Amino acid sequence: MTGKRSRGRPAHPDILTPGEWRVADGVRHGLTNPEIAQRQGISTDAVKFHVSNILGKLGMARRGELKRWGGVDAGSAMKGRTAMGKTGLGPIGQIARTVNDIGEARKWYGKVLGLEPLFDAGTMAFFDCGGTRLMLVEGEAGPESILYFRTEDLHGEFARLEDAGARIASAPHRIHTHDDGREEWMGFVEDPDGRPIGLMATVGGDG
pLDDT for 200 beyond 50: yes
Using a 10 angstrom Cβ sphere, with 0-12 exposed, 13-18 middle and 19 or more buried, the burial of residue 28 is buried
Provide the percentage of residues in the chain whose pLDDT is more than 70: 90
Q: In what order do the strands lie in the sheet containing 167-177?
A: 116-121, 124-129, 132-138, 92-99, 146-150, 196-203, 183-190, 167-177
Higher pLDDT, 78 or 12: 78
Domains belonging to the chain, first-starting first, are 18-67 (1.10.10.10), 92-203 (3.10.180.10)
**pLDDT of res. 171:** 94
pTM of the entire structure?
A: 0.70
* Percentage with pLDDT > 90 across the chain: 56
Strand partners, 176: 184
User: Rounded to whole angstroms, what are the CA distances from 140 to 27, 53, 145, 157?
Assistant: 20, 31, 12, 31
pLDDT at 176: 92
For residues 105-136, one letter each, b for 16 or more C-beta atoms within 10 angstroms of the residue's C-beta and e for the rest, the string is bbeebeeeeebeeeeeeeebbbbeeeeebbbb
Give the model's pLDDT for residue 195: 83
Q: How confident is the model at residue 2 (pLDDT cuts 50, 70, 90)?
A: very low
Per-residue pLDDT tens digits for 100-136: 899 999 988 998 888 999 999 888 999 998 899 999 9
What's the pLDDT band for 3 if we cut at 50, 70, 90? very low
What pLDDT score was predicted for residue 39? 87
Q: How far apart are CA 99 and CA 114, in angstroms?
A: 17
Tell me, what's the pLDDT at 141?
80
The pLDDT tens digits for 38-89 are: 988 999 999 999 999 999 999 999 999 999 999 999 889 888 765 556 678 8
> In which element (H, E) is residue 201 found?
strand 196-203
User: Which of 89-93, 156-160, 191-195 has the lowest average pLDDT?
Assistant: 191-195
Q: Indicate if the pLDDT at residue 164 is higher than 50.
A: yes
